[in-house]
Structure 1
Amino acid sequence: MSQQTEIQEDDFRPSAARLVESLRDTGYSREAAFADIIDNAIAANSTKILIELQYMYGEFRVIMTDNGDGMSEGELRNAMRYGSEKRANPKSLGKFGMGLKTASTAFCRRLVVLTQKNGVQSGRAWDIDRIIKTDRWELETPNTNDYYDDYEELSDFTDNSGTMIIWENTDHLIKQGSERQVRQQINSLGKELQAELSAIFCKYLASGEVSIAMKVGDTPTTELKGWDPICADLITADGVRSRVLKEKTVPVEFDGKTASFSVKGSIIPSQNELNSEEREFVRYSLDNQGFYIYREGRLIWHDGWPHRMYKKESKITRLRVELHFDHELDDVFSIDFRKSRVIIPVDIREELKRLVAPWRQELLKGQERLVSANTNRAHGPADKAIDKHKKYTKNADIKVDGDKVTIRNENQPQPTLIEGVRIYEDKTVRVHEEDSLLGDDLWEPSCDEEGNTCVTLGKSHPYFHKMYNVCKDNIEAMKALDMLLWSLANAEHGEYSEANRHTLKGYRQKVSQTLRYLSIELPDAEENE
């Protein structure tokens, strides 16, 4: 038997120095780390939370203070232990016993926790550099004098009980640079955090259960307002609302039990129906479409369509879907300790696709390439006449790039996006028919793939049937009506701008509404059969 160093088989503790560095690389995003600390505060019955991004004397610190239950000495030691004791409440957002430590040390090398319970203060700290130097899990008791101002601030904020989390030596939050560059990074971080946390804790903020405030450097403290991704309460300046789609409940069977989650959707107004402030409010972006998944009212995932259920595309930018589940389904959705990952089982994924498909198709069908069947119909003479004079009648530069349509004209010198415009493949047709148009209008401007203006007629409008019935035996009268309606569409493209798009749309709706009443005076189709 060869000589070997004897292994102590009753002591396989990992090296503290190596493990503590490894635990810093657990994949936390900045927003998820801050959210994890807030989770703990809410779990401790906090109603008021303050986040400070503090830059003083060349040092950047993050301070998060809450007015929750606070901790005794024993409770604090347990909270500082990696894998702390399980919380009694299974609904708790801070349920894994890892978040405080891993979320903090992912971005700082020194974590200080000061707490107060029933007026009694205590503090502990993990210092990564000290752990590496000693290769021991030595929990530090910070010098009270070094944190005198922080203890005072904690007392003022909480009255009697609460907790303060301090991140020092923050090496992974911002990059080194000049003082100006550092302050710019801190301001940017503050804006990103406000946007993300207002979405993550929207339900709590909206209900008034919790208030979250943020102070960035020397700027005034800002109260966060909850941001609802489906924008259910949105009413634009023109009175347009989001269309909230019916909520549906989905049962799930697991481990001999049955629970359920809920799904509801929203189609937010199109970009053309929103002014710049409203677009900013709804966060109109390709990246903000798709699922928003909540656990116990807390947003844990939003990155489009999970498991590549669908690809992100401009056609469905307006579709947002909320999925809500409670703690009973944690294992079903494979929630990890960061609460930022979701794995949806295949059978549930298929059910979600079935539920979402009609909402998605509704947006897709109006913007797909459309093949016209008009060529051999009565609109043919008008198509040829309009095309013959296109050199002289063109008053807008329309570009079609995939499913994106942009327009330039005298009123709109810079290209601007037109959303929802129909695009037709056939470049020889100028007058198209559809079963119905949005708002049951008589006509709307459209285009072909080359950017030529077209007009689309809504067959459901009563004037459509009656006017073409009156003129059905007169080719020249038909051509004249087609020319008139195409000219209205062409004029709208020529006058279109960001500023007047709502006016033009309103004009079209008013004309269509008036013709609806006037068409009563025209004979019905069967009278002339």
Structure 2
Amino acid sequence: MTDKNELQENDFRPSAARLVESLRDTGYSEKAAFADIVDNSIAANATKIAIELQYLMGEFRVVITDNGDGMTESELKNAMRYGSEKRPNPKSLGKFGMGLKTASTAFCRRLVVLSQKEGTAVGRIWDLDTISEKDRWELETPDENDYYDDFEVLEDFSGNSGTMIVWEKIDRLIKPGSDRQMRDQIRTLGKELVDELSAVFFKYLSSGNVEISLKIADEPEILLQGWDPLSTELVTSGGARPQLLKEKKIHVEFNGNSYSFTIRGSLIPSQNELTAEEQEAVRYGLDNQGFYIYREDRLIWNDGWPHRMYKKEGKITRLRVELVFSHELDDVFSIDFRKSRVIIPVEIRRKLQSLIAPWRQALLSVPSKNQSEQSGSTRAHGPADNAIDKQKNRTKNSDIKVDGETVTIRNQNQPKPAVINDIRVYEDKTVRVHEENSLLGDNLWEPSCDIDGNTCVTLGKSHPYFLKMYDVCKNNVEAMKALDMLLWSLANAEHGEYSEANKYTLKGFRQKVSESLRYLSLELPDPEEDSE
């Protein structure tokens, strides 16, 4: 009896119920989670990967199937272990032993893995509700009858060997709603995944060694095409090409050994040289300038300029830089298990700045007519800035907090603070109406905020309605102010109605309005050319 008590007193194993819930909050974004599962398929030598966003009879499932090596029962048990054994290949994209579990359970409460190797099928399940109820790491074996159809699909897709990942009890990927709302959310998620995965796995897709498809509910299957941020093969309808900047090798000393990585750059054609379709193809916009960092040919970071290097600027929107390194430099760049964080050491950052400075300066030194126009239009927005600020106490309908790079919002629909991703935050607290060369999806406007949490609106200058309507109003201060206040009110209303449940619906509304105005703008007069 004494020995048993002593064992219990010295048993410091964490509570399975509490730990498994905590591991759901490791910071995965939806797109990073999907990419992590695809990583595992590629690491298992898959040449075909199929992603399905299934929605049937009100049930939403995610199914990812590959024709990789597959797993035996013992290999599957190891793969389901949190902190599974290290892969023998250090280059492997799935190298930390955590991604399958944490990426999946970040968005679902039931992870099902079915696999076959040399014709023998096996399956295992992590069900978070079971773990929480029993407070024990209980790995379940699926009933073959329950997953008979899935095993059939796996065999048909992969032949003799392959693996299927199934997310069930999805509680975070989309929010409950009507049938139409659910389908709209799934459709929006699918479109975002097409853009993200085509960029993340660009080099694999372009090589022809890996094929990735995506099926969104009952829509036709989409075969992903790799997206090259440098646009190396682009030739515009007017004959313009990107200016490719010579590849440079940078040497690094680490742990007594010498390693190297490469960078190369591209100045994509200017906005005036691109048609609307070409702008969409190259994803022209302020947010897409800067670094694209690849580890073993997999894109792991593309969020502009690394910390303390440069800020995003309109004049260098055309500059994109590709950095490629191998697994030997994982510790140098502080790669985490989500493979979405990169920390560039100070000495390397300085080397990069010295190499990139001439490319950047070449753009900054070019006189820009658009820059002077933007300065003038910013002053033109001044009356609206003042009017909006004057009424801010009456129009405030949400509580926005900015903490470093994290922005949260609370309102009547969202009493608990929710993180808003990809929102622009401006340092100038006197401006409520901002302009950018282009917005995601070529929308006319999007909600933004300043560092104090005041709602702002950002206008996309590339939208034809902006070009024509503001040209019509340019000599009428009150008309300009009225238009600004209308668009700001749309942004403010979106912040007032925002919630985790309807964020995709609000985004879809904004896209639909912008699309309608794109066509309606054809009925407006063309902007007047400035006299030379």
- Give the alignment's TM-score, normalised by structure 1: 0.71
What does residue range 34-113 of structure 1 map to in structure 2 within 5 Å? Answer: 34-113=34-113
Distance (Å, rounded) in 1 between the aligned partners of 2:526 and 2:295: 43
Change in CA separation of 1:266 and 1:130 when aligned onto 2, cut-off 3 Å: same
Cα displacement (A) at 1:8? 3.9
Partner deviation per Cα, 1:121-149 (whole Å, 9 max, x = no partner): 00000000000000000000011100011
Q: Name structure 1 gaps, 5 residues minimum.
A: 371-395, 417-495, 509-529
Counterpart mapping for 1:190-205 below 5 A? 190-205=190-205
Q: Which residue of 2 aligns with 1:336?
A: 336
Q: Considering only CA atoms, is the larger Rg found in Structure 1 or Structure 2?
A: 1
SS at match of 1:102: helix
* Alignment check: 8 A CA contact 1:407 1:415 kept: no
Q: CA separation of 1:400/1:48 partners in 2, compared to 1, >3 Å: closer, same or farther?
A: same
Residue 486 of structure 2: aligned partner: none
Instruction: Please list the CA deviations of residues 248-267 of structure 1 after superposition, one character each: whole Å capped at 9, or x if unmatched.
Output: 00000010000000000100
SS of structure 2 residue aligned to 1:263 = strand
Residue 272 (structure 1) aligns with: 272
CA separation in 1, counterparts of 2:87 and 2:73?
17
Identity, % of aligned positions: 66
**Is the 1:399–1:407 Cα contact (8 Å) retained in structure 2?**
no
1:304 aligned onto 2:304: yes
CA offsets 1:490-527 (integer angstroms, 9 cap, x no match): xxxxxx969999xx9xxx9xxxxxxxxxxxxxxxxxxx
**1:288 corresponds to which residue?**
288
Aligned twin of 1:450: none
CA distance in 1, matches of 2:48, 2:118: 17
Q: How does 1:248-259 map to 2 (within 5 A)?
A: 248-259=248-259
Amino acid at match of 2:245: L
Alpha-carbon spacing, 1:308–1:497, altered in 2? closer, same or farther (3 Å)? farther
Letter in 2 for 1:121: A
Q: What corresponds to 2:129 in structure 1? A: 129
Partner of 2:181: 181
CA 12–61 in structure 1, closer or farther in 2 if over 3 Å, else same: same
Matches for 1:155-166 after TM superposition, within 5 Å: 155-166=155-166
What amino acid maps onto 2:358 in structure 1? Answer: P
Shift of 1:413: 3.8
Q: Judging changes above 3 Å, is the alpha-carbon distance between structure 1 residues 149 and 359 closer, same or farther for their aligned structure 2 residues?
A: same
SS of the residue aligned with 2:322?
strand
- Counterpart in 2 of 1:514? none
Q: Distance in 2 between matches of 1:288 and 1:143?
A: 47
The amino acid that maps onto 1:260 is S
Secondary structure in 2 matching 1:144: coil
Q: Find the counterpart in structure 1 of residue 18 from structure 2.
A: 18
Letter in 1 for 2:264: K
Query: Helix, strand or coil for the counterpart of 1:230?
Result: coil
Which residue of structure 2 lines up, in the alignment, with residue 169 of structure 1?
Answer: 169
2:229 maps to which residue? 229
- Corresponding position of 2:366: 366
Distance 2:378 2:267 in 1: 24
Shift in CA distance, 317/347, structure 1 to aligned 2, threshold 3 Å: same
Tell me what 1:207 maps to.
207
Q: Give the deviation of 1:397 after TM superposition.
A: 12
For 2:147, what is the secondary structure of its paired residue?
Answer: helix
8 Å CA contact 2:83, 2:98 repeated in 1: yes
Q: 1:179 to 1:253 in 2, by over 3 A?
A: same
Q: How far apart, in 2, do the equivalents of 1:7 and 1:397 lie?
A: 71
In 1, Cα distance between the equivalents of 2:271 and 2:253?
Answer: 41
TM-score (norm 2): 0.70
Q: Which amino acid aligns with 2:107?
A: F
* Cα distance in structure 2, aligned partners of 1:255 and 1:178: 57
1:140 aligns to what? 140
Letter in 2 for 1:354: S
- The whole-number CA distance in structure 2 between the counterparts of 1:317 and 1:100 is 36
Q: For residues 369 and 338 of structure 2, what CA distance do their matches in structure 1 show?
A: 43
Residue identity matched to 1:236: T
* CA drift at 1:299: 0.1
2:359 alignment partner, SS class: helix
Contact 1:65 1:162 in 2 (8 A): yes
Q: Is contact 2:246–2:265 with CA below 8 Å preserved after alignment?
A: yes
Distance 1:399 1:302, change over 3 A: same
| Aligned pairs, number | 393
